[in-house]
Amino acid sequence: MEEVIKVKSLTKDYGENRGIFDISFAVKKGEVFGFVGTNGSGKTTILRHLMGFLKPMKGEVKVLGLDSWKDSCEIKKYVEYVPGEIAFPDLKDGTTFLKNQAQLIGVKDMSYANYLIKKLQLDPSANLKRMSKGMKQKTAIVAAFMADKDIIILDEPATGLDPLMRETFLELVLEEKKKGKTIIMSSQMFDELELTCDKVALILNGRIIDIADINQLKNMPYKFYKVEFKEREQYLKFKKLKYEIVRDQEKYNQVTIKIQDKNINKMFNDLKNYNLKFISQVYHNLEKHFKDVLSTQKDSYIYKEEESKKELRKSKKLKKRLLKIENKQIKAKNKKEDRDDK
Amino acid sequence: MISKALFSQSCKANWIKWLTVTIATCAMLAIVIIVLGNLGINDIRDSLKNIFVQADQESTLKENAVDSYDLYLSSINGYESLEKNINFIIVLNSTFDTQVNQIEADTGKTLTREERAVIINQITDGIISSGMLASLGLDDVTARVFITSYLTQYSDDELNGVKIPPATIEVEGQIITNPEYITYIKNLMKGAFLEVIYNNAYLDYINKGYNEQESLNAADTAKELSNDAIENYKINGSPSIYDYKTDARNAVNLVMKNETIESLQNSGMTDEEIEQYAVSSKVISNTAISTYQLWLEEGVTVEEAKSHATESISDQLDTKVAEALSELGNMDIYGLIIGSIFYRIAGLLLPMVFVIMVSNNLLAGQVDSGSMAYVLSTPTKRRTVTTTQMAYLLFALFSMFALLTVVSVISVWVVGGNAFAINYGEILLFNAGAFLTMFAIAGYCFMCSAIFNRTKYSLSIGGGLTIFSLVCTILGLFGSAVVPSAMRISAMNFFNYLSIITFFDTVSILGGTLTYLWKFGVLAAIGIITFIIGVFRFDKKDLPL
Q: Please check whether residue B233 lies inside any domain of the structure.
A: no
A306 and A261 within one domain: no
Q: Are residues A92 and A153 in the same domain?
A: yes
By CB atoms closer than 10 A (0-12, 13-18, 19+), residue B70 is: middle
Indicate whether A182 belongs to any domain: yes
Q: Do A83 and B373 touch (CB under 8 A)?
A: yes
Alpha-helix runs per DSSP H in B108-178: 113-130, 140-159
Please report the pLDDT score of residue B448 as a whole number. 95
Same domain, A57 and A206: yes
B282 domain-assigned: no
Q: What is the pLDDT of residue B137?
A: 65
Residue B245 inside a domain? The answer is no
Q: Of the segments A85-89, A290-294, B240-244, which one has the largest average pLDDT value?
A: A85-89
Does residue B384 form part of some domain?
Answer: yes
Query: A interface mutation test: which of B372, B377, B380 has the most A CBs within 10 A?
Result: B377
Identify the pLDDT of residue A302.
55
Q: How many domains does chain B have?
A: 1
* CA torsion through residues B505, B507, B512, B515, sign: negative
Crossing angle, helix B179-207 and helix B86-107, to 10 degrees?
100
Among B500, B431, B496, B493, residue whose Cα is nearest residue B462: B500
**B5 neighbourhood in chain A, CB within 8 Å:** 100, 103-104
Asked if B376 and A80 come within 8 Å (Cβ–Cβ), the reply is: no
- pLDDT(B362) > 90: yes
- Confidence (pLDDT) at B395: 95
Whole-number CA gyration radius for chain A: 28
The answer to whether residues B130 and B179 touch, using CB atoms and an 8 Å cutoff, is no
A47 and A99 co-located in one domain: yes
Distance CA A289, CA A210 (A): 10
The confidence score (pLDDT) of residue B37 equals 75
Indicate whether A199 and A168 sit together in one domain.
yes
Comparing alpha-carbon positions, the chain B residue that sits nearest to A79 is B377
> Could A53 and B542 be called an inter-chain contact, meaning their C-beta atoms sit closer than 8 Å?
yes
pLDDT of residue A128: 87
Asked if B157 contacts B166 with a C-beta cutoff of 8 angstroms, the reply is no
Flag if A73 and B379 touch (Cβ within 8 Å).
yes
Reported confidence tier of residue B454, pLDDT bands at 50, 70, 90: very high
Helix (H) or strand (E) holding A48: helix A43-51
Residue B142's pLDDT is what? 79
Quote the pLDDT of residue B196.
Answer: 84
Q: What is the pLDDT of residue A234?
A: 83
Q: What pLDDT digit, counting tens, does each position of A195-213 carry?
A: 889 999 988 888 888 888 8
- Residue B229 pLDDT class (50, 70, 90 cuts): confident
Q: Give the residue-averaged pLDDT of B213-219.
A: 84
> Is the CB of B381 less than 8 angstroms away from the CB of A91?
no
Number of domain units in chain A:
3
What pLDDT is stored for residue B279 in this prediction? 81
Pairwise CB contact (< 8 Å): A54 & B369: no
Angle between helix A133-145 and helix A111-119 axes, rounded to 10 deg = 150
Q: Spell out the SS3 assignment of B417-471.
A: HHHCCCCHHHHHHHHHHHHHHHHHHHHHHHHHHHHCCCHHHHHHHHHHHHHHHHH
| CATH number of the CATH domain containing A266 | 3.30.70.80
Whether residue B338 contacts residue B407, with contact meaning beta carbons closer than 8 Å, is answered with no
| Domain coverage including residue B12 | 4-34+334-540
Residue B328 has pLDDT above 80, yes or no: no
Q: What region does A267 belong to: left with phi over 0, alpha with psi -120 to 50, or beta?
A: alpha
pLDDT of residue B17: 93
Residues of A engaging B, defined by a Cβ cutoff of 8 Å: 48, 51, 53-55, 72-74, 76-77, 79-81, 83, 85-92, 96, 100-101, 103-106, 143-144, 147
Evaluate whether residue B173 is within a structural domain: no
**Per-residue confidence (pLDDT) for residue B42, from 0 to 100:** 62
Domain boundary among the residues A183, A212, A241 is at: A212
pLDDT at B40: 63
The share of chain B scoring above pLDDT 70, in percent, equals 93
Those residues whose C-beta lies under 8 Å from the C-beta of residue B489, and which sit 6 or more positions away, are B478, B479
Mean pLDDT of chain B: 84
How far away is chain A from the Cα of B4, in angstroms, using its nearest Cα? 8
Using one digit for the tens of pLDDT, what is the confidence trace for B13-42? Answer: 899 999 999 999 999 999 988 887 777 666
Query: Is residue A142 included in any domain, yes or no?
Result: yes
Task: Show residues of chain B in contact with A55, CB under 8 Å.
Answer: 540, 542
Same domain, A278 and A304: no
Whether residue A217 is contained in a domain is answered as no
Chain A contact for B11 (CB, 8 A cutoff): no
| Beta strand A58-63 pairing with A199-204 | unpaired
Q: Is residue A82 included in any domain, yes or no?
A: yes
What is residue B522's predicted lDDT score, i.e. its pLDDT?
A: 95
Lowest mean pLDDT among A95-104, B333-342, B528-537: B333-342
What residues contact residue A248 under an 8 Å CB cut-off, 6+ apart? A239, A254, A255, A256
Residues of A in contact with B373 (CB under 8 A): 51, 53, 81, 83, 85
- Report how far residue A245's alpha carbon sits from residue B194's, in angstroms, rounded to the nearest whole number: 146
Q: Kindly state whether residues A205 and A241 are assigned to the same domain.
A: no
Q: Which of chain A's residues have a Cβ under 8 Å away from the Cβ of B545?
A: 48, 51, 53, 83
Query: Residue A174's pLDDT band (boundaries 50, 70, 90)?
Result: very high
Answer yes or no: do A87 and B371 touch at CB < 8 A. yes
- Window from A59-63, B188-192, B442-446, B540-544 with minimum mean pLDDT: B188-192
Of A72, A81, A103, the CB nearest to B373: A81
Domain annotation covers residue A207: yes
The reply to whether B252 falls in a domain is no
Cβ contact, residue pair A76, B12, below 8 Å: no
Q: For chain A, what is the mean pLDDT?
A: 85
Specify the pLDDT at position B99: 82
Q: What is the pLDDT of residue B41?
A: 60
Chain B: give the shortest CA distance to residue A216, in Å.
Answer: 34
Considering the domain architecture, whether residues A190 and A251 belong to the same structural domain is answered as: no
Q: Is the pLDDT of residue B450 over 80?
A: yes
Closest by Cβ to B13, choosing from A53, A87, A90:
A90
Q: Are residues A70 and A124 in the same domain?
A: yes
Question: What CATH number did the domain enclosing A54 receive?
Answer: 3.40.50.300
Chain segment B50-79, per-residue pLDDT in tens: 777 777 777 878 888 888 888 888 888 888
Residues A159 and A86 in one domain: yes
Domain annotation covers residue B526: yes
Find the residue in A nearest to B542 (Cα): A54
| Residues of chain A contacting B8 with CB distance shorter than 8 Å | 100
For residue A153, give the chain B residue with the closest CA.
B377
Closest-CA distance of chain A to residue B514, Å: 44
Encode pLDDT of B151-172 as tens digits: 888 888 878 877 778 777 887 7
Nearest Cα of chain B lies from the Cα of A47 at a distance, in angstroms, of 10
Looking at the fold, whether A264 and A321 belong to one and the same domain comes out as no
Q: pLDDT at residue B313 above 80? A: no
Instruction: Write the pLDDT tens digit of every residue in B76-117.
Output: 888 888 777 777 777 777 788 888 888 888 887 777 888 888
Q: What is the mean pLDDT of residues B216-228?
A: 85
Domain-terminating residue out of A212, A234, A259: A212
Enumerate the residues of chain B whose CB falls inside 8 A of the CB of residue A131.
Answer: none
Residue A140 within a domain: yes
- Could you list the residue range(s) of the whole structural domain that residue A326 is in? 300-342
Q: How far does CA A22 lie from the centroid of its chain?
A: 17
In a domain, residue A134? The reply is yes
Asked whether residue B323 is assigned to any structural domain, the reply reads: no
Please check whether residues A238 and A205 belong to one and the same domain. no
End residue of a domain, out of A170, A192, A212? A212
In a domain, A294, yes or no: no
Contact criterion met (CB < 8 Å) for B5 and A147: no
Nearest CA in chain B to A100: B5
| Mean pLDDT confidence for B416-434 | 79
Residue B240 buriedness (CB in 10 A; 0-12 / 13-18 / 19+): exposed
Query: What percent of chain A has a predicted confidence (pLDDT) above 70?
Result: 95
What is the nearest CA distance from A295 to chain B, expressed in angstroms?
33
